[in-house]
A and B are shown apart, each in its own frame.
Chain A
Amino acid sequence: MREITFSEALGEAILEEMSRDPTIFTYGEDIAKQGGIFGAYKPILGKYQDRIIDTPISEEVIFGSALGAALAGMRPVAEFHFADFLFTGMAAIANQIMKFKYMTGGQGKLHLILRGPDGISKSAAAQHSESIETIFMHIPGIKVIIPSTPYDMKGLFKTALRSDDPVICFEHKMLYRMKGPVPEEEYYIPFGVADVKREGKDVTVIATSRMVHESLLAAQELEKEGVSVEVVDLRTLVPWDKETVFKSVKKTHKVVIAHETWRRAGWGAEIAATIQEELFDYLDAPIRRVGAKNVHIPFSPPLQDFVVPDKNSVIEAVRSVL
């Protein structure tokens, strides 16, 4: 199968759907001339120019206007530039977008997407580095997708572009240039369906985004020691796929959860608690969580490496449950 990058997969998803649906338009800072600060939009540069719009630096309006545009019949895709700047416009998201439908007794189709880069890159320091997907899982009212491969990116985003609910998509900065197989034919990946990225029988590692790849590397190394690791990529956090997770836990009886977001009250805590509540009898060891240490992401390379988990953190956690 042909291989394309994560960014190209995103671009294809948008272009295919744009050509089908004239209500889709996309906007944000620095996207139309340069394709976004991490080049995520490079594949759509110069196409559908009237529907790809550079905006002022006005985060509250970038997010809040998505709600208005959706209610008025368009299908907006707003870019958040850096996940950290979701905080800058958080009132528009948490108080408006996420509450509108519920508070109005189910009115309106909120087909809108917020998307953009999150996670670490090379020393971007705290205001440009953080993984804050957990917050959007905690507050009800938006679907959360967090793809780890070009294939998943395209398939999930195509589904998002057809969803009538608000969706937020977190794309890891370190993944944009990653290549992977993506079929030419059209396909869609439903939300709430995890993907077993690697089969194994001794330990289940549940991960998303960059940590899926770190977990796969960890699994390769552990295999040399005779440990068979299953890697389950959740792909979406709201909804999350209890069925696939439970099936894996019933097979391996041991669980490690790996995310880049802070360990304390990170989304792994929710998954771990659910497994513990519902599958306690199947567990042969305490569930271990891997996440960033509970400080902000520091600038200096040795500090960043220390704070953020990698494959070694996963290996250590797996060993501790064996």
Chain B
Amino acid sequence: MELSKELLLKFYKDMVRIRNFELKAEELFLQGKLPGFIHLYIGEEAIAVGAMANLRVEDYITSTHRGHGHMLAKGASMRKMMAELYGKKHGYCKGKGGSMHIADVSIGVLGANGEVGGGLPIAVGAGMAIKLQKKDSVVISFFGDGASNRGAFHEALNWASVFKLPVIFLNENNQFASTERVQETTSVENISDRAVGYNMPGVSIDGNDVIAVFETVKEAVERARNGGGPTLIEAKTYRLKGHFVGDPQLYRTKEEVDLKWPNEPISRFEKKLFEGGYLTEKEKEEIWNDAKNEVEDAVLFAEQDEYPAPEEALEDLFEDSTNCLY
């Protein structure tokens, strides 16, 4: 398939935006400006970007604790994301959720999730709604290799298959679940092999190749839109940073990580773009600068924003909280 220059550059720009957001989040966290935990998506950008290029606003995703990249690729506001990371009033969750709980229901982002695998049943629910409404929307549920060992994963796949729901289960196998290597906790070599048990197509791809992700997800999305049911895709990648910022990483060596950097998705794709004559040094510089400026603007927005007033902690539990707070 020939992809347009426009699309290829969009892939690149979106990956660079995510990378810059994450680098900034890391820096801010280390400066003590962000409360809570931050799980970085560095090295995994090709998956969110390649996948999301197939989606429309009316399509849904469910995300994970490592969700910043998914949000940005689906079109979330960087300003509101950053403000949430700060715990400020105009963040996505008005300071109640933080990094792991960002949602933007208006653009189909049905939530990051602090519970590993928590998004899978939610995605199935969105798939049922689509089917009942006779729409041609789809859902992509992102989850890690670790999440694929939870009961929720198995139940969700079976369910989606039985009801032929338009759900794409997009596994981001970054080789680790916190401190645990995938080989130590997972019984199959390819997580996509598990699709057999649920009678759906399953495929493993190079998750650091944005075009491969785009094309594989495209096929699955088309099948889902046409009533062909769910697909399990495993995108193999590598988590280049710690599980969270500050992780001492006692479970792997620096040498191992250094060896993986040359395969990271952005510089790899960049080389291709240069070779194909799609990108010049000057354009590259502009794209990086634009991304940095966008991130700086988001940081400024977040820093100038105020903290919520303490009493706001009592809002948002119900539509009508009358008499519910005691």
Those of A271-308 within 8 Å (CB) of chain B:
293-296, 298-307
Those of B135-180 within 8 Å (CB) of chain A:
146-147, 149-151, 177-180
A301 touches B186 (CB 8 A): no
A57 touches B147 (CB 8 A): yes
A295 touches B178 (CB 8 A): no
Closest residue of chain A to B94, judged by CB?
A300
Chain A residues within 8 Å of B324, by CB: 294
Q: Which of B8-16, B40-48, B114-122, B279-287 contacts A (4 or more CB under 8 A)?
A: B114-122
Scan A25-62; emit 1 where CB is below 8 A from any B CB, else 0: 00001100110010000000000000000111111110
A57 touches B313 (CB 8 A): no
**Contacts A125-B100, A298-B95, A303-B96 known; A56 to B146 CB distance under 8 Å?**
yes
Q: How many angstroms from the CA of A123 to the CA of B98 in the assembled complex?
A: 8
Does any Cβ of A come within 8 Å of B197's Cβ?
no
A85 touches B115 (CB 8 A): yes
Does any Cβ of B come within 8 Å of A17's Cβ?
no
Does any Cβ of B come within 8 Å of A122's Cβ?
yes
B101 touches A303 (CB 8 A): no
Main secondary structure of the interface of A (DSSP, over half): loop
Cβ-neighbour of B36 out of A29, A58, A88, A122 (below 8 A): A122
The smallest C-beta distance from A43 to any residue of chain B, in angstroms, reads 15
B179 touches A124 (CB 8 A): no
**Contacts A56-B186, A57-B116, A300-B95 known; A295 to B146 CB distance under 8 Å?**
no
Cβ-neighbour of B177 out of A57, A126, A305 (below 8 A): A57
Does any Cβ of A come within 8 Å of B35's Cβ?
yes
Q: How many angstroms from the CA of A29 to the CA of B98 in the assembled complex?
A: 23
**Contacts A34-B251, A264-B326, A293-B314 known; A29 to B93 CB distance under 8 Å?**
no
B179 touches A300 (CB 8 A): no
Those of A91-136 within 8 Å (CB) of chain B:
122-128
The smallest C-beta distance from B39 to any residue of chain A, in angstroms, reads 12
**Contacts A33-B250, A55-B185, A293-B314 known; A123 to B36 CB distance under 8 Å?**
yes
Does any Cβ of A come within 8 Å of B97's Cβ?
yes
B115 touches A88 (CB 8 A): yes
Does any Cβ of A come within 8 Å of B189's Cβ?
no
Chain B residues within 8 Å of A58, by CB: 149-151
Is the interface on chain A under 10, 10 to 19, 20 to 34, or 35 or more residues?
A: 35 or more
The smallest C-beta distance from B68 to any residue of chain A, in angstroms, reads 15
**Best-surrounded residue of B113, B149, B180, B324 (most CB of chain A within 10 A):** B180
Does any Cβ of A come within 8 Å of B277's Cβ?
no
Does any Cβ of A come within 8 Å of B276's Cβ?
no
The smallest C-beta distance from A188 to any residue of chain B, in angstroms, reads 33
The smallest C-beta distance from A259 to any residue of chain B, in angstroms, reads 16
The smallest C-beta distance from A238 to any residue of chain B, in angstroms, reads 26
For the A-B complex with A57-B147, A300-B98 known, give 9 more contacts whose Cβ atoms are closer than 8 Å: A34-B250, A54-B179, A57-B149, A60-B151, A124-B37, A125-B36, A126-B101, A127-B114, A293-B313
Q: Which A residues form the contact surface with B (CB < 8 A)?
A: 29-30, 33-34, 37, 54-61, 84-85, 88, 122-128, 263-264, 293-296, 298-307
A/B interface sample: 24 pairs, CB < 8 A: A33-B180, A37-B178, A54-B180, A56-B146, A56-B186, A57-B116, A57-B150, A58-B150, A88-B115, A123-B36, A294-B324, A294-B326, A296-B96, A298-B95, A298-B96, A299-B87, A299-B95, A299-B98, A300-B308, A301-B87, A302-B307, A302-B308, A306-B310, A306-B313
